[in-house]
Structure 1
Amino acid sequence: MSKPVFEDILNYKTGRRNRKSYALAFLVLSIASLGFTALSLSLVSANSTFTAVLLLLSIPLSILLVICQIAISSQRLRDIGYSGWFLLLMLIPFASLVVQVFLFFAPGQAGENTYGSDPRNMDEIEIFGS
């Protein structure tokens, strides 16, 4: 009973995301980011046009991954009962670790809150939204 992982992954203005859905989305985004970073770094030493094109394509992909991470984190904060603006605490060096642990382990508010309905009221978990 969870929100589908890829549902509203780019919607940073509305919605809620529970712990399970947040953890799965965070894992998928982290693996994608690490894999693409490793690929980019392995091709840096090669001098070719393909490498230059791939590195140019990495900029929009990196921006997209950051937007997705901001969206799921703000949805998770809304599930806990805080505004997405609390995500700005991630800019403070050691506070970011505390906020990240808080996002993973803090229980969400039961039932509907001011940010939307409870995401745990889904019928079944889906990895890819239907």
Structure 2
Amino acid sequence: MFKNTFSFDGRIRRTEYCISFIIMLIFRVSIELFTESNEPAIIMVLLVLLIPMMWFTLAQGAKRCHDLGKSGWWVIVPFYGLWLLFAEGEAGQNRYGSNPKLVSDGISAG
């Protein structure tokens, strides 16, 4: 789990996507809480951290789209990320790679 987190290649399971979603949600709430203080230094640090967190979120979403056999571009559709939390991935290998469920369970996907 959590290999190549900033890469847009491959597929991930719902579990990894859900954990990624929770991490980003916690980060977003933290930003909201800390930016209320109006401290320029804190706001600047959080904005700098926001860029890699957004990349992380988009990459994880794209890989989850790949698990469904869809293009990673679907991740930019509003509320599609919520669907990704519940949708079952394609069984077996697809054009984006091996089934992450089989790979993580130690079963050969070939």
- Shorter-chain TM-score: what band? 0.7 to 0.9
Which stretches in structure 1 are left out of the alignment for 5+ residues?
A: 45-50, 91-95, 125-130
Greater relative contact order (Cα < 8 A, sep 6+)? 1
Q: Which residue of 1 aligns with 2:48?
A: 60
Whether the 8 Å CA contact 1:33–1:65 is kept in 2: the answer is no
Rounded to whole Å, the distance in 1 between the matches of 2:99 and 2:59 is 17
Instruction: Provide TM-score, normalisation by structure 1.
Output: 0.73
Q: Which residue of 2 aligns with 1:75?
A: 63
- Considering only aligned residues, what root-mean-square deviation do their CA atoms show, in Å? 1.6
Alignment of 1:106-125 (within 5 A): 106-121=87-102, 122-123=104-105
Alignment of 1:1-130 (within 5 A): 4=1, 6-12=2-8, 14-41=9-36, 43-44=37-38, 51-88=39-76, 90=77, 96-97=78-79, 99-121=80-102, 122-123=104-105
- Superposed displacement of residue 116, structure 1: 0.7
Rounded to whole Å, the distance in 1 between the matches of 2:5 and 2:31 is 19
SS at match of 2:27: helix
Q: Which amino acid is 1:29 matched to?
A: M
Rounded to whole Å, the distance in 2 between the matches of 1:107 and 1:28 is 21
Which stretches in structure 2 are left out of the alignment for 5+ residues?
A: none
- Superposed displacement of residue 103, structure 1: 0.9
Larger Rg: 1
Instruction: Provide TM-score, normalisation by structure 2.
Output: 0.84
- Superposed displacement of residue 74, structure 1: 0.4
- Superposed displacement of residue 8, structure 1: 2.0
Rounded to whole Å, the distance in 2 between the matches of 1:54 and 1:100 is 29
Rounded to whole Å, the distance in 2 between the matches of 1:64 and 1:40 is 18
Identity %: 27
